[in-house]
Amino acid sequence: MKLLIIGWDGATYNHLEKIKPKFYRKLHRQIFLPEPFWQKREVDSGAAWTTITTGKSFFEHKVLSISGKLENETLFKLFSKLDFLIPSNLFGKAVKFWLMSKLFYKHPPLSNDVKFPRIWELIPNSLAWGVPVTHPPKPIYGVWVSGMPYPDSYGVYPKRIEGKLKKIYSGELKRGSDLKEYKKKMFEEHFKEVKAIKWLYDNFDFNFAFIVFTLPDRFMHVEEEWEKIEKMYEIVDESTGELVEHMQPEEVVILSDHGMKKEKRAKWVHIHDSKQGIIASTNPKLLVDTHLDLFDRVLNWWKSETS
């Protein structure tokens, strides 16, 4: 494999620089920011990962959130001129997000709503795994396993391997009322996820893989004890090292769509921090400053390596 990209959804630069887990600390690394519009706002994973994987601004790809699309750009631009007057957190409630949901969120976005190619659609023999806003999967020369949001369970292309894959990994957890059990099962599902990715690698010949682990974001939303958060980072780092050893890529990139910061709000104890995303790589030439830059950098690198 030439290039392995692993997303650590919600992984936070100042956390990782404090911990410096074993695999991460070997890499060239820096802060990774969203496009300028979101740098002063709380970017949603749906908008962020769609920009990262298409190289297009969210005003172009129209994915505002994992909950909805940008369907009225004029109204949204007007709202954006006034949104600094609206508190993001009032009495523990996400006021701004609630208002946005009433004005702009109608239907969860589908992969078919994104009218631009994802990076793995342009590189033959690719694996796309668990990237938000990739359901349903599209036919590609490779394997596409869809990420959240999906109705009941994730989808797989090619369809013929879906049954086998779902015997290994059942998909994104629903929170439920038992928070202790939810936290425990997050890690169980993460280990199954790693096992499923290894199975795919052993059965297909991949040149490129774009994988997203949602564990950091999901866990930090509901956990406030630093020792447990630190352990979570170490587990994700170990899983990444395990996949690198198994897949033997020529180059590796780790990145996050945003960081996290502690702020109790509704059912969450941490919320998104747009200024604390990370990007790290074995190759400093693959480091970029913003979400808008990664698509072209990877594609140009790929072309130079295969020409």
Domains of the chain, by residue range, sit at: 3-61+110-306, 72-105
Residue 64's nearest CA partner among 122, 28, 104 is 104
Q: Cα dist. 51→19, 60, 63, 174, 282 in Å?
A: 28, 9, 9, 26, 23
**Cβ–Cβ under 8 Å, residues 213 and 242:** no
If phi over 0 gives left and psi between -120 and 50 gives alpha, with beta otherwise, what is residue 219?
alpha
pLDDT for the residue numbered 157: 98
Q: Cα dist. 224→183, 261, 267 in Å?
A: 12, 10, 12
Query: pLDDT tens string for the chain (307 positions)?
Result: 999 999 999 999 999 999 999 999 999 999 999 999 999 999 999 999 999 999 999 999 999 999 999 988 898 999 899 888 888 888 788 888 888 888 888 889 999 999 999 999 999 999 999 999 999 999 999 999 999 999 888 999 999 999 999 999 999 888 877 889 999 999 999 999 999 999 999 999 999 999 999 999 999 999 999 999 999 999 999 999 999 999 999 999 999 999 999 988 888 899 999 999 999 999 999 999 999 999 999 999 999 998 8
pLDDT for the residue numbered 102: 82
pLDDT for the residue numbered 189: 96
CATH topology of domain 3-61+110-306: Alkaline Phosphatase, subunit A (3.40.720)
DSSP label of 27: S
d(CA 62, CA 59): 5
d(CA 271, CA 198): 31
pLDDT for the residue numbered 307: 81
Residue 128 tokens read as 């796309």
Residue 200's nearest CA partner among 127, 148, 135, 132 is 127
Q: Can you name the residues that pair with 93 across neighbouring β-strands? A: 90
Q: Can you name the residues that pair with 3 across neighbouring β-strands? A: 208, 251
